[in-house]
């Protein structure tokens, strides 16, 4: 139960950070391209891998499962789920699992884009407009 609450608290913090960073970037460079989202995804991918590298079995620091979950799943998951995708794909590549890494990339990018398109299409055909 402690891990669940740590993840929930971290998720709230990460979501707030994502919103703030995205707004800040957009205010600096404009919104013609989603630079805020790209920035969050790059920062999040770096930070989750850095944290896991520091606190993993071969890392310099030992942290409790609660702290690890708070940061990696909670904060970084709330900040960007792309960070989890990046770390998991990197781990597959490092383990020599090229097929699974490619599958993760294909499914996560192509299938999720198709799912998003399907969601928009469904929303547009439902008779819910007033």
Residues 55 and 105 in one domain: no
User: Can you give the pLDDT at residue 100?
Assistant: 93
How many domains, in total, are found in the chain? 2
Residues 51 and 112 in one domain: no
Phi first, then psi, for residue 42 (nearest 5°) are -70, -50
For the chain, the average pLDDT equals 89
How confident is the model over 87-109, as pLDDT tens digits?
A: 889 999 999 999 999 998 998 88
Q: What is the CA radius of gyration of the chain?
A: 17
How confident is the model over 16-45, as pLDDT tens digits?
A: 999 999 999 999 999 888 888 889 988 988
Confidence of residue 63 (pLDDT cuts 50, 70, 90): very high
Contact partners, residue 69, CB within 8 Å, separation at least 6: 3, 6, 7, 10
- Any idea how long the chain is? 130
Residues 66 and 15 in one domain: yes
The domain of 55 spans: 2-95
Measured between alpha carbons, how far is 68 from 74 in angstroms, rounded to an integer?
9
Residues 22 and 84 in one domain: yes
Residues 65 and 119 in one domain: no
Contact partners, residue 75, CB within 8 Å, separation at least 6: 10, 11, 13, 14, 17
Residues 114 and 58 in one domain: no
Q: What is the pTM of this model?
A: 0.75
* Residue 83: alpha-carbon gap to chain centroid: 4
What Å distances lie between residue 108 and 40, 57, 60, 112, CA to CA?
18, 27, 31, 6
Residues 65 and 110 in one domain: no
Q: Tell me: pLDDT of 128 over 80.
A: no
């Amino acid at each position: 139960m402690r891990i669940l609450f740590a993840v929930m608290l971290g998720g709230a913090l990460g979501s707030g950070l994502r919103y703030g960073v995205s707004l800040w970037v957009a205010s600096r460079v404009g919104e013609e391209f989603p630079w805020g989202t790209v920035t969050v995804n790059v920062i999040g991918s770096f930070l989750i891998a850095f944290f896991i590298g520091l606190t993993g079995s071969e890392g310099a620091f030992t942290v409790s499962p609660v702290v690890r979950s708070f940061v990696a799943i909670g904060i970084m998951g709330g900040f960007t789920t792309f960070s989890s995708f990046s770390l998991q794909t990197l781990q597959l590549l490092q383990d020599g699992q090229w097929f699974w890494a490619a599958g993760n990339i294909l499914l996560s990018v192509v299938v999720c884009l198709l799912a998003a398109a399907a969601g928009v299409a469904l929303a547009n055909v439902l008779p819910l407009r007033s």
